[in-house]
Structure 1
Amino acid sequence: MNRHTAAAQIRSSRRGQSKQPNIKSQSAHPVDLHVGQQIRIRRIQSNVSLGDLGAGIGVSFQQVQKYENGRNRVSASMLYEVAKRLRVPVAKFFEGLPDPEGTQDPQIVTEVDDRIAYISTAEGRRLIEDVLLLPPRVRSRVVALVSSIADEEMEERPEADM
């Protein structure tokens, strides 16, 4: 084996080794996902933009996005800074998780209420803001209309989709 072939094999094996940790890091831990979603919800409830939160805690808005979607874990000190900037107790980010002492299953499955997740999107916020501009009587008509459309959609769905 010549020197170039040996070097190529070493590089190839190193590349294979470096791919292993990346595969593991791509699947975020459910607690990291939950904490990230809670950061997003609390940030939006506080009417703080990604950029403002990032500036307030000393990171870019892209880094805040990574925290929120669970791609990057939030360290304890950073979570403390996020809580301080959003003026919420650190414990708020863990609400809804099962008690670690009571959980025997190592796979923690967290559920985020779909309604809260939707409201935390730009579309959801815009919908709520626009509906709140309507008079109460019109608002109730809009709710009735949306409910009627949702009912029709559920009736038209084949059983396999449910």
Structure 2
Amino acid sequence: MNRHIAAVQIRSSRRAQASRSNIARESVHPVDLHVGQQIRIRRIQSNVSLGDLGAGIGVSLQQVQKYESGRNRVSASMLYELANCLRVPVSKFYEGLPGPECVEDSQIMTEIDERIAYISTAEGRRLIEDVLLLPARVRSRVVALVSSIVDEEMVEQTVVDR
């Protein structure tokens, strides 16, 4: 009984943390979020650690994390420094960003940004690397398995929401 109560409390705590995280993400301007994700992607592609990037541009590791999350906006001069340190043009940080007139495209970009953000995580990279080691026929079975799990979760969530 006590174990059940503890499990419920843990799940409740995790939901509250996720909710706070979503609220924080929603308060970040979409352009700042996109630029931050692009900084992270370029840093990882360049195989540069947070600490090394921070040292290269004269800020702390924590400040780089804030730039990457979009919590702190990146000034034009800092974006220039980041581009120099990562050896990419400044325009790379804006690639894939829809124009201001493209309201419909912003939802699509949000979904793409979420995918890119996941791929940029250690877990996402590890997943892709491991899946790529599998033979093609096994990869397709893994995709089918994951899709099946997602379908089950969606059905369960629909039942819970009712």
| Common fold by TM > 0.5 | yes
Other-structure match for 1:111? 110
Does residue 48 (structure 1) correspond to residue 48 (structure 2)? The answer is yes
Q: Which secondary structure state, in structure 2, belongs to the residue aligned with residue 111 of structure 1?
A: helix
- Separation (CA, whole Å) in 1 of partners of 2:111 and 2:93: 12
- Separation (CA, whole Å) in 2 of partners of 1:98 and 1:32: 13
* Distance change in 2, residues 1:142/1:35 (3 Å): same
* Distance change in 2, residues 1:160/1:88 (3 Å): farther
Report the alpha carbon displacement of residue 137 of structure 1 after superposing the two structures with TM. Answer: 2.9
TM-score if structure 1 supplies the norm length? 0.67
Render the CA deviation track for 1:41-80: whole Å, top value 9, x for unaligned. 2222333221221122222211100111122221112111
Render the CA deviation track for 1:96-143: whole Å, top value 9, x for unaligned. 33335x479xxx986251221211122111211222222333222212
Report the alpha carbon displacement of residue 157 of structure 1 after superposing the two structures with TM. Answer: 2.4
Paired amino acid for 1:145 = L
Does residue 125 (structure 1) correspond to residue 125 (structure 2)? The answer is yes
- Separation (CA, whole Å) in 2 of partners of 1:154 and 1:29: 29
From the two aligned structures, give the one with the greater helix fraction: 2
Q: Report the aligned-residue RMSD.
A: 2.8
In the alignment of these two chains, the number of paired residues is 132
Task: Select the structure of larger CA radius of gyration.
Answer: 1
* Distance change in 2, residues 1:46/1:28 (3 Å): same
> Quick check: 1:57–1:78 contact (8 Å CA) kept in 2?
yes
> Quick check: 1:34–1:112 contact (8 Å CA) kept in 2?
no
Report the alpha carbon displacement of residue 160 of structure 1 after superposing the two structures with TM. Answer: 7.7
State the identity as a percent: 80
- Separation (CA, whole Å) in 2 of partners of 1:48 and 1:146: 32
> Quick check: 1:43–1:49 contact (8 Å CA) kept in 2?
yes
Which 5+ residue runs of structure 1 have no aligned equivalent?
A: 1-26
- Separation (CA, whole Å) in 2 of partners of 1:97 and 1:160: 36
- Separation (CA, whole Å) in 2 of partners of 1:91 and 1:69: 19
Q: What is the 5 A alignment of 1:1-162?
A: 27-100=27-100, 102=101, 111-113=110-112, 114-158=114-158
